[in-house]
A and B are shown apart, each in its own frame.
Chain A
Amino acid sequence: MADEAGVIRFNAVSKRYATPARGEVWALRNLDLVCPARQLTCVLGPSGCGKTTLLRLAAGLETPTAGRVTIDGQPVTGPTQGVGLVSQEGALLPWRRVIDDVALGLEIRGVGRAQRRDQARRAVARVHLPSEVERSLPHELSGGMRQRVALARALCPGPRILLMDEPFASVDEPTRHHLQSEVLNVWQADGQTILFVTHNVEEAVYLADRLIVMTFARTVADLPVALPRPRDRLAPEFVETLLTVRRTFTERALTAADG
């Protein structure tokens, strides 16, 4: 299925968890979603709406209770080669120096030391980390730098699909803006399919080709974002889109809560 290359597809996907406190909880209910190849799809939703679960299913870290997830037309049964994940703060290996953490994916594939260091160096440079940090340990870096390293680690093996789970939620706003541009630069150069999960409306509007609003384990809105790139956060049409999305987000979230 050549036309499925780079496509992430969720078909009637449900996921139920057993929790000690609240018994069985549905993280996703009968969800359909297609992330077209080379597009940047943002999933926007409040904490606990199931958006991280969506990403974990695509990453092959969880299996759906019902329905199926496919990547390139193939059902996801575990982590898939060519899929990169950037998580929230804290997924860097604290004992590895930056260069070796970035090279982890290549090391796992058995790429020789010299070659993987070379490739890791390029990944580090791509996300505009100074080369001095190559020998640093994560705890010696700022939060923003750590997330750059996480991005470099995901990029290093050359993924066709990037899954991003609120990667910039815990960095300050100016840094977040820089990191968002970094993601756009990479994406515009390489054309990955990106599924980007966030609770930040502005971030979603700034990044997305398409914006999916989620609440309570369901998608409640599917909004194309047609703003030209590069986007100017202060342009009237940006602000207008932002307000529309925010309104939709609030309304749909409330409706879903009532229903």
Chain B
Amino acid sequence: MTNQRLLIRVLLGAVVPLAILVIWHLASAGSVVVPSIGAVLDVLVHPLREPPTLDATSLASGALISVLRVLCGFGLAALTAVPIGVWVGRSETARHLLAPTMAAAMVISPIAWIPVAIIAFGLSSPATAVYGDEAWRYGMLDQVRFAIVAVIWLGAFFPIAINAAAGAGGVRDAHIEAARVLGANRRQVLTKIILPGAAPAIVTGLRVGGGIAWRVIIAAEIFPGTRGGLGYMIATAHEQASYEYAFASIIVIGAIGLALDSTLRLAAHRVSRWQPKER
């Protein structure tokens, strides 16, 4: 790409954010509710500062708590959904057993499971599991509540499993047979044919699941009963009318989400390189 084209691309990409900033600036002038750009920037450049007006931890630790929760739930979802999805994709029995439930569960918003998750897990966390009543001392660890992790897991599980199933089911018989004739056993057919063949679909599922997990965590943290995290900060900022924290949180949510998606998109590109571009 030439420098000129790159410049045009960057300028075009900046149009909408700049317009938003202008509208924001105009809206904040003379408003007591809409925080000024400066106030929000002040929060963003001091990420470690405890909010003086809020019953919440710093922006950075809130972000870290949200990220930790997502990584736990998403990691569990990846570990469970990929094998189950591949199984559903390759076994008719598994398909008949699980596909209807998966299709139904897929359309339920993960947020709807929050009460169920709280009934199931209460306020337990890795910290309560290990340290019992002393758990509160281990702040960060105590914040990774099982109930929240379970909701993230539910949100990410189905897109990953359904994509893995589609990918594994779409692996061509000719490829499997080529390996079998060359002497491959079942395990080798799985590792050398089915998993590489399904990899682009699996990574697509991870990307969708990761996006859902990140959206769900913010919503889950807004629910009462949670402490810490960016969603919690937005909810508290709203209650205390400290909107600069809500705005700053939204910006951080966007930035982290973008980083998460870029990472997964890079992974998707890497494992899909062998696929010819459709024209």
Binding site for B on A (CB under 8 A): 59-61, 78-79, 81, 83-85, 87, 90-96, 104-105, 107-109, 137, 139, 153, 157
Q: B177's closest neighbor in chain A, by CB?
A: A61
Shortest Cβ gap from A155 to chain B (Å): 12
- Asked if B174 and A105 make an inter-chain contact with CB atoms under 8 angstroms apart, the answer reads no
Q: Are A90 and B183 in contact (CB-based, < 8 A)? A: no
Contact of B178 among A78, A85, A157 (CB under 8 A): A85
Contact between B275 and A87, CB atoms less than 8 A apart:
no
Looking at the complex, which of B140-148, B188-196, B228-236 is the stretch in contact with chain A?
B188-196
User: What number of B residues sit within 8 Å (CB to CB) of A?
Assistant: 21
Listed by A's residue number, 29 A-B pairs whose Cβ atoms lie within 8 Å are A59-B177, A59-B181, A60-B181, A79-B180, A79-B181, A79-B182, A79-B183, A81-B183, A83-B181, A84-B181, A85-B177, A87-B177, A90-B172, A90-B174, A91-B177, A92-B178, A93-B178, A93-B193, A93-B196, A96-B274, A104-B179, A104-B192, A105-B183, A107-B192, A108-B184, A108-B188, A137-B274, A139-B274, A139-B275
How far does the Cβ of A234 sit from chain B's closest Cβ, in whole Å?
36
Of the residues A78, A84, A93, contact of B175 by C-beta under 8 Å? A93
CB distance from A193 to the nearest CB of B (A): 15
Give 15 A-B pairs besides A93-B197, A153-B178 with Cβ atoms closer than 8 angstroms.
A78-B180, A84-B181, A87-B174, A90-B172, A91-B175, A91-B178, A93-B175, A93-B196, A95-B197, A96-B274, A104-B179, A108-B183, A137-B273, A137-B274, A153-B182
Complex CA distance for A91 and B172, rounded to whole angstroms: 9
Interface string of B257-279 (1 = CB under 8 A from A): 00000000000000001111000
| Interface residue? B71 (CB, 8 A) | no
Q: Which residues of B contact A (CB under 8 A)?
A: 172, 174-175, 177-184, 188, 192-193, 196-197, 199, 273-276
Q: Which residues of B contact A60 (CB under 8 A)?
A: 180-181
Q: How far is the CA of A200 from the CA of B179 in the complex (A)?
A: 27
CA distance A139 to B279 in the complex (A): 14
Contacts of A61 in B (CB 8 A): 177, 180-181
Bound CA span A81–B196, Å: 24
* Whole-angstrom CA separation of A104 from B197 in the bound complex: 15
CA distance A176 to B174 in the complex (A): 22
Inter-subunit contact A94/B274 (CB<8 Å): yes
B83 shortest CB reach to chain A, Å: 20
- Complex Cα distance A83/B174, Å? 16
- Complex: A215 Cα to B226 Cα, angstroms: 73
Kindly provide the distance from the CB of A91 to the nearest chain B CB, expressed in whole angstroms. 5
Given the complex of chains A and B, what is the CA–CA distance between A81 and B184 in angstroms? 10
Give Cα distance in the complex from A83 to B274, angstroms: 28
A42 to chain B, nearest CB (A): 20
Instruction: Check if A108 sits within 8 Å of B175, measured CB to CB.
Output: no
Residues of A within 8 A of B196 (CB): 93, 95-96
Alpha-carbon separation in the docked complex, A78 to B180 (Å): 9
**Hey, which chain B residues are within 8 Å of A85, CB to CB?**
177-178, 181
